[in-house]
Structure 1
Amino acid sequence: MHTLSPTASSSLSLARGHYIYSITPSSPALFAAISSDDSLRVFDSNTLNHASVAATNIHEGVTLLKTYDAGQQLLSTAGRDGKVKLWDLRGGKSSAVLELETSQQAPVLSIACCPETNSIVAGTELTSYQATVAFWDIRSPGQTRLQYIESHSDDVTELQYHPIHKNIVLSGSTDGLVNIYNTLITDEDDALMQVVNHGSVHHAGFLDQETIYALSHDENFSIYPVTNPDEQTQGPDPVQFGDLRQPLGCEYITQLFISNQGSYIAGGNKLETRLDLVPLISTPTWRFDQENLWRLPGAHGEEVVRSVYLDGQSHTVFTCGEDGFVRAWKPEGTGQADPQSKGDVKVPRKDKKDKEKGRYKPY
């Protein structure tokens, strides 16, 4: 086991009672964050200081923040107002440069971006008995380019493009299904290449070109091969890990993230006030390398960690959570620890009313 030490922390000048949903790079040395006050904030990743409010009331119930392009110059957000927005924060701009809207203003629970094809795809909450996977070409934002409306029967909670083949898209839903589509095919039935029945999907995505993972809302985790409907050969069997909480010693899973450092699953324990980043390795078979996990002691106190990002260049892990703070972590001995974050940190607890107001479903 390795230990990461807290090097900086900041509330980003959020008002008491609010917390931070998600963080992502917005440009070199800058990060962006969305919060329960429906704001979009930008902060300096080196110190977590110099936070600025890029925009307020960006959605009526913001749900998502994603980087649009690899250059991290454009950001995409979505909300329960049924809108997806594209933001260009260069030059001090504070207004959305593009706005998309779902049919029936269905709340957006998942998005994925593909600058190679000028595309954004959004997954909606079940509205009027319909859950939609909607595609837009941002060069023609007035109407959707493609919609799949029959493949899921409940909230669409996850979307991701294939790492190489950008015509292939994965979706996951609380109906239990993980679907893979060939978006070059407009007919929905014919476009569906693969269906995996996993259980109510919290997160899902591609581990590599030929492998996907799925994590359910009750923390069951499995790895599945990507199958080709045109081939008759039998692929590898799924690797089913079951409920991760007991084997990983955690109470909840924040996410699985893939970086140039490898694949890690982030598991939190509120009672023991810690977060563990456990490597997921494929040799000789898929398994969690618990001997080489990275532990963040103190984490965000007794509050849930909502988002984790590993910056390979600065060797820094950034976290945000329901305590209303962003925190930076580095391997022990590489940075000056922040005394406010070190060790078994105690965070002022928010009352249940405030927490439920800020939480969106599914989570």
Structure 2
Amino acid sequence: MRMRWQNTELNDEITALDFHPARDNVLLAGGDDGLVSIFDTQIVEEEDSLLQAVNHGPIHKAGFLGVSDLYALSSDQNLALHSLTLEDTDAIEPSPNQLGDLRPLIPCEYVIDIFRTGPDHVVACGSHSKSRVDLVKLHRGSQLDLNERIVLENAHSEEVVRSIVADEVVGCIYDELALIADRLQNGVIFTAGEDGRIAAFRPVDPQPVSSPLTAASKSKKGAPVDARYKPY
């Protein structure tokens, strides 16, 4: 079997791979050497196939953030958002968003993953001592909006959550605040933990006055939006 493309410039263990959402020849790779490298797999020459490199620190998670940006999460939970410079390798890259260690910021105990749901990208953070997962939207060019988050309660007891995904069939889990209750009504989020279980979460059933979703839709501007999901 003939290999279509190969590259030996990665000098350490590879911990993240991702293909560009709109250009299937563009591959992102991150590893323990601290680099996130962007390659054009249609270019055979190794030295010419490297389109961009970002130095961040030992990579825990990395991937594309839409068609024009990327994210890099280090093993010490530091997150940065960078712009892609695929069209012109000599272009000056815009300053990245250095969000820093997310653990005291969220707050949380570890970062699970960054995933796409609908048009949004969300960072999922776990707190095993509190049995909860916090989901916060990411935006290139701005800090995290901690006033708008989704909380998964009773997530795998005190075990670490290793994987998370949103059901794309029902659409995005986030939307404008005025539409949050409607869009979340049938949404499902799946998690997998070290307890050996796969859990499915859905929004708390609406209750008059006391429902978090009802309260969120009536909250004043600037007040926290803390939509809660329950397992089933």
Using the size of structure 2 for normalisation, the TM-score is 0.78
Residues 86-135 of structure 1: per-residue CA shift (max 9 Å, x gap): xxxxxxxxxxxxxxxxxxxxxxxxxxxxxxxxxxxxxxxxxxxxxxxxxx
Question: What does residue range 1-363 of structure 1 map to in structure 2 within 5 Å?
Answer: 142-149=1-8, 151-228=9-86, 230=88, 232-260=90-118, 262-282=120-140, 285-312=141-168, 313=170, 314-333=186-205
Deviation sequence 1:11-55 (CA, Å, 0-9, x none): xxxxxxxxxxxxxxxxxxxxxxxxxxxxxxxxxxxxxxxxxxxxx
Q: 1:323 to 1:189 in 2, by over 3 A?
A: same
Report how far residue 297 of structure 1 moved. Answer: 1.3
Give, in angstroms, the shift of residue 232 of structure 1.
4.2
* Amino acid in the other structure paired with 1:321: G
Alpha carbons 2:51, 2:89 under 8 Å: kept: no
Aligned equivalents of 2:189, 2:156: Cα separation in 1: 13
Deviation at 1:144, TM superposition (A): 1.8
Does the aligned pair in 1 maintain the 2:52–2:89 contact within 8 Å?
A: no
Give 3-state SS (helix, strand or coil) of 1:154's partner.
coil
Deviation at 1:167, TM superposition (A): 1.2
- Does the CA-based 8 Å contact 2:5-2:42 persist in structure 1? no
Q: How far has the Cα of 1:287 moved from its partner?
A: 2.3
Per the TM alignment, residue 256 of structure 1 is displaced from its structure 2 partner at its CA by 0.2
Equivalences, count: 193
1:269-313 Cα distance to aligned partner (Å, 9 max, x none): 11111111111134xx32222111111111111101011111141
Opposite residue 258 of structure 1, the aligned amino acid is: R
CA RMSD of the aligned region, Å? 1.9
Instruction: Quote the sequence identity (%).
Output: 40
Q: Which residue of 2 aligns with 1:20?
A: none
Runs of 4+ in 1 over 6 A off after TM superposition: none
CA distance in 1, matches of 2:90, 2:125: 38
Aligned-residue offset at 1:228: 3.6
Q: How has the CA–CA distance of structure 1 residues 232 and 178 changed in structure 2, closer, same or farther, with 3 Å as cutoff?
A: closer
2:65 counterpart SS class: strand
Structure with more contact order per residue of length (Cα contacts < 8 Å, sep ≥ 6): 1
The SS at the match of 1:288 is coil
SS at match of 2:104: helix
The 1:328–1:156 alpha-carbon spacing in structure 2 relative to 1, beyond 3 Å, is: same
1:120 alignment counterpart: none
1: distance between equivalents of 2:122 and 2:133?
Answer: 12
Offset at 1:166? 1.2
Q: Aligned to 1:286, what secondary structure does the other structure show?
A: coil
Query: Do the aligned residues in 2 keep the contact of 1:319 with 1:327 (CA within 8 Å)?
Result: yes
Cα distance, 1:319 vs structure 2: 0.7
Q: Partner amino acid for 1:304?
A: V
- Equivalent position SS for 2:47: helix
Structure 2 runs not aligned, ≥5 long: 171-185, 207-229
- Secondary structure at 1:290 match in 2: coil
Equivalent residue of 1:223, what SS?
Answer: strand
* Per-residue CA distance 1:47-68 (angstroms, 9 max, x = gap): xxxxxxxxxxxxxxxxxxxxxx
- Unmatched segments (≥5 aa) in structure 1: 1-141, 335-341, 344-363
Confirm or deny: 8 A CA contact 2:85 2:91 kept in the other structure: no
Contact 1:194 1:229 in 2 (8 A): no
Give the superposition deviation at 1:231.
5.5
